[in-house]
Amino acid sequence: MPAPTNPGRMPDDLPALLAAIDAARSELPPAYRDAGSPLSAADPHVVWAELRKFDRQDRVFLEWGSGIGTMTLLADRFGYRAAGIEIDPLLVRTARRIATERYSNARFVEGDYRPSVHGGASYRELGLTLDAVDIVYVFPWPDEIDACRDLFAAHARIGARLWVYSEVAGILESVRTESGCTPLMPA
- The answer to whether residue 11 sits within a structural domain is no
Q: How many whole angstroms separate alpha carbon 174 and alpha carbon 187?
A: 9
- The answer to whether residue 4 sits within a structural domain is no
Report the mean per-residue pLDDT for the chain: 89
- The answer to whether residue 181 sits within a structural domain is yes
- The answer to whether residue 15 sits within a structural domain is no
Bridge partner list, 85: 64, 109
- The answer to whether residue 2 sits within a structural domain is no
Domain ranges, residue 119:
40-186
Q: How many whole angstroms separate alpha carbon 70 and alpha carbon 17?
A: 9
- The answer to whether residue 33 sits within a structural domain is no
Q: What is the pLDDT of residues 48-91, one digit of tens each?
A: 889 988 877 789 999 999 999 999 999 999 899 999 999 999 99
The confidence score (pLDDT) of residue 2 equals: 33
Task: Reply yes or no on whether the pLDDT at 7 is more than 60.
Answer: no
Task: Reply yes or no on whether the pLDDT at 35 is more than 80.
Answer: no
Q: How many whole angstroms separate alpha carbon 3 and alpha carbon 97?
A: 34
The single-letter code of the amino acid at 120 is G
Mean local confidence (pLDDT), 103-111: 97
Question: How many domains in the chain?
Answer: 1
- The answer to whether residue 8 sits within a structural domain is no
**CATH number of the domain bearing residue 57:** 3.40.50.150
The confidence score (pLDDT) of residue 112 equals: 95
Determine the 3-state secondary structure of 40 from DSSP.
coil
What is the helix (H) or strand (E) element at residue 15, kind and residue range?
helix 14-26
Distances (CA, A) of 12 to 39, 57, 77, 83, 89: 27, 20, 11, 23, 31
The confidence score (pLDDT) of residue 177 equals: 95
Distances (CA, A) of 14 to 5, 76, 102, 133, 157: 18, 11, 11, 24, 31
pLDDT classification of 130: cutoffs 50, 70, 90: very high
Q: How many whole angstroms separate alpha carbon 169 and alpha carbon 139?
A: 12
- The answer to whether residue 22 sits within a structural domain is no
pLDDT classification of 8: cutoffs 50, 70, 90: very low
Q: How many whole angstroms separate alpha carbon 99 and alpha carbon 106?
A: 6
Q: How many whole angstroms separate alpha carbon 40 and alpha carbon 32?
A: 9
Q: What is the pLDDT of residues 111-126, one digit of tens each?
A: 999 998 888 999 999 9
φ/ψ region of 139 (left if φ > 0, alpha if ψ in -120 to 50, else beta) reads beta
> Which pTM value belongs to this model?
0.91
